[in-house]
Structure 1
Amino acid sequence: MDWTEKYRPQHLQDVVGNSGAVRQMYEWAQDWSRQKKPLILYGKPGTGKTSSAHALANDMNWEVVELNASDQRTKAALERVAGSGSTTASLSGASRKLILLDEADNLHGQADRGGAKAIVEIIAESRQPIILIANDYYSLTKELKTATEPVQFRALQARSIVPRLRQICAAEGVACDPAALEGIADAAGGDMRAAVNMLYAAAIGRDRLVAGDVQTSSKDERSTIFELVGGVFKGRRDAELLRMAVEVEDTPDAVEQWLEGNLDQMPDLASKAQGYACLSRADEYIGRTYRRQYYTLWRYASAVMLLGVADAAGGAGIHGRIMPPSRWQKMGASKKQKMVRAGLTRKLSEMTHIPEDALREDFFTAIGILVEQDPAGYVREFGLDADELNLFIHDKTRAAKVVKDVAKEEKAKEKKTSGKEKAPTKEKKGRKAGDEEPPADTKETRENPPPGQATLF
């Protein structure tokens, strides 16, 4: 059995490090109510986020309903699994159900369409505690950040990892040299999962470990795109930048866009102009690569843009957060708008019995003028959401306010209607014990019904 699962902490007191985060989770769960925001646990992989959530559920006698990135997380799937789970009681006898959504920062692409919006809606209606888990807190949507309470998990210190490795060795009957455990803890880079995996790999077939046995089991230290971009602006050595470019998972065209997205942090206009010139030249090599399928040109593109931008930056560094390419955000917004327009056209076509092509080409402008004059009325008539209304009035803030106001009016009407149905009628209130009952149904009345009334028999 995998040691990471075998020795996963079962209780919060077994979690290594991050005592402040663990205490915050426990205090949140101890007096949980529907008024409390869900937690979002964020931090580097292997710092104990998921393990802490399961340990908390175990300590509180809560059942866990879990979804992760391997599951389909469309709006319908989330509402079916997490949505129903968050509004119903547990069938296993647990006091509550903990809705656990792992890798919440990976809600993207076609498979997860509408997922982030569905999570916010589930949070608003939930009757059960919810915990979300993410590696990158800054990649979450603004709506998710507003609706949740953040709990940060920091990388573990090596001196905190060593005692747990020593416990595992004792439980497995493996004698370990202290220098070997310290080497594993240092190589793990604050990742407990990586440390346990390295120990497991090194201990296979051995009953004793020394420092030399763990040299081949070190953590993968491949560079990230953030380290590469930061290194370029800090002016690292040429050979080091080229090595990092090979290690990152991103292709040269993606690296070029990352560099372009951060050129605004150049110290002056002359440096920025030089940086753009280098990126332009690199883009020519990238274009030739795709046209001719001659991927050797990629190395020239990498050298020109990395070394050229590094020279332009002059080691000034980046004084803000490294941002993803702005064009990606614009492309995502454009794609979302196309999806909203297609869905709205389909819905209006079904309601008006007009072909989609004719509706889009001949009637969309006219409908937009009518909606602009009475947005609330058409929200009720067509069931528009904020994104669909924004297509007509081109004012996102106003669209959101109109839809919110209409939803409040509808809820108020439902409450008023339900209150009237529950209240006794005036006729029932006034009837006394001696009042006459309605005449019984007789054969004569069935044979001679009032004019216009039909009978089956």
Structure 2
Amino acid sequence: MREGIKTSEKVLQIIATNANGDLRAAINDLQALAQGKETLEMYDIELLNLRDSQIKIFDVLIRILKTRYIGRALEAVQEAEEDPETILRWLVENVPKEYEKSEDLAKAFDYLSRADIFFGRIRRRQDWGLMRYAIDFMSAGVAISKKEKYSKFVKYGYPEIFVIYAKTKKLREQVDAIAEKIKEKLHCSKREAREIYFPLLEIVLQSEEGPKLAHELELTLEDIQFFVKDEKLSKEAYKKAKEIEKKNKKQLSIVEWSY
């Protein structure tokens, strides 16, 4: 690439496809995604999936952060296609960029924290009647937190949590896949698999019993490497696990042949 950014042809194809034939849009996406980076990876491209909603969410943010009218702020959330909890994440990320005065900022985050508390209650109780209180706090509350609206231009950005999710998607999928294997073999929940058995696997897989356990759980090399960071040890454990599998299959075939 001309600016010295390293990437793959597949990444460029996705950017081009996402731009729907609009060369300028493709260039803008490429520049935005590559900003501050030396290498453009696949997980960076996942942020493009947020582009359509980004345009809409910016309007929501403007209508809340650039006004002191309660009705306008409430309508911004009520008319948005994004769910209120997603909007809350955007507000948490961007309120500090908009509100300069510490008093305004403190009041805004007080309202945001109250909204977050109500979201927690909604999840626990499944009481969706509480949603209106959360929306009131995060929209009207944040809007009236400032004594006067700020006229400056603010470049709003993605919530950091979304960026983290995009970057760690592959890792989270791997963790979930391993937890699923443990769940099926040991008849436990995925949560128990992660909290109880993951720490044990990290120890056992590096012991003499490691290959046997890897075989029993049907772990792949990537699964073993998740727990065993030493490349030599992980490959050795995987190799021995495959040998156990091969030996068991051979014994099974002998038994079947004898019948």
TM-score, with length taken from structure 2: 0.51
- Give the counterpart letter for 1:321 in structure 2: K
What is the deviation of 1:253? 0.3
Aligned ranges for residues 267-286 of structure 1 at < 5 Å?
267-286=100-119
Q: Distance in 2 between matches of 1:365 and 1:280?
A: 43
Match of 2:164 in 1: 330
Q: Distance in 2 between matches of 1:243 and 1:340?
A: 40
- Give the counterpart letter for 2:92 in structure 1: E
Structure 2 residue runs without a partner (length 5+) = 40-54, 177-218, 234-259
* Bigger fraction of residues in strand: 1
Change beyond 3 A, Cα 1:330–1:131: same
Match of 2:60 in 1: 228
- Give the counterpart letter for 1:306 in structure 2: S
Q: Distance in 1 between matches of 2:27 and 2:18?
A: 9
Q: How many residues align?
A: 169
Q: Distance in 1 between matches of 2:139 and 2:130?
A: 14
What is the deviation of 1:290? 2.4
Change beyond 3 A, Cα 1:104–1:336: farther
Change beyond 3 A, Cα 1:302–1:338: closer
Residue 308 (structure 1) aligned with residue 141 (structure 2): yes
* CA offset digits 1:187-226 (Å, max 9, x no partner): xxxxxxxxxxxxxxxxxxxxxxxxxxxxxxxxxxxx9321
What is the deviation of 1:269? 2.5
- Give the counterpart letter for 1:257 in structure 2: R
**8 Å contact kept, 1:102–1:132:** no
* CA offset digits 1:337-380 (Å, max 9, x no partner): 557999xxxxxxxxxxx953544434x23559xxxxxxxxxxxx
Change beyond 3 A, Cα 1:134–1:296: farther
TM-score, with length taken from structure 1: 0.31
Match of 1:361 in 2: 227
Which secondary structure does the structure 1 equivalent of 2:144 belong to?
A: helix
Match of 1:104 in 2: 19
Change beyond 3 A, Cα 1:246–1:135: farther
RMSD across aligned positions (CA): 4.4
* Bigger fraction of residues in helix: 2
What is the deviation of 1:307? 1.5
Q: Distance in 2 between matches of 1:261 and 1:366?
A: 39
Q: Please, which of 314, 321, 327 is the counterpart of residue 155 of structure 2?
A: 321
What is the deviation of 1:319? 3.0
What is the deviation of 1:329? 0.7
- Between stretches 250-259 and 130-139, larger displacement belongs to 130-139
- Give the counterpart letter for 2:160 in structure 1: S
Q: Distance in 2 between matches of 1:319 and 1:367?
A: 54
Instruction: Name the structure, 1 or 2, with higher relative contact order (CA <8 Å, separation 6+).
Output: 2
What is the deviation of 1:289? 2.0
Match of 1:255 in 2: 87
Q: Distance in 2 between matches of 1:246 and 1:283?
A: 17
The structure having more radius of gyration, on CA atoms, is 1
Structure 1 residue runs without a partner (length 5+) = 1-34, 38-74, 84-99, 106-129, 148-222, 343-353, 369-457
* CA offset digits 1:86-145 (Å, max 9, x no partner): xxxxxxxxxxxxxx944339xxxxxxxxxxxxxxxxxxxxxxxx96464994685217x9
Change beyond 3 A, Cα 1:317–1:136: farther
Q: Distance in 1 between matches of 2:2 and 2:166?
A: 32
Match of 1:237 in 2: 69
What is the deviation of 1:317? 4.8
- Give the counterpart letter for 2:63 in structure 1: G
Q: Please, which of 142, 145, 148 is the counterpart of residue 34 of structure 2?
A: 142
What is the deviation of 1:336? 4.3
Q: Distance in 2 between matches of 1:228 and 1:274?
A: 19
Q: Distance in 1 between matches of 2:56 and 2:76?
A: 8
Q: Distance in 1 between matches of 2:158 and 2:81?
A: 15
What is the deviation of 1:251? 0.9
Q: Distance in 1 between matches of 2:175 and 2:128?
A: 39
- Give the counterpart letter for 1:104 in structure 2: A
Change beyond 3 A, Cα 1:135–1:337: same
Q: Distance in 1 between matches of 2:84 and 2:27?
A: 23
Q: Distance in 1 between matches of 2:27 and 2:62?
A: 17
Q: Distance in 1 between matches of 2:174 and 2:127?
A: 39
Change beyond 3 A, Cα 1:131–1:283: closer
**8 Å contact kept, 2:69–2:143:** no
**8 Å contact kept, 1:286–1:301:** yes
What is the deviation of 1:311? 1.8
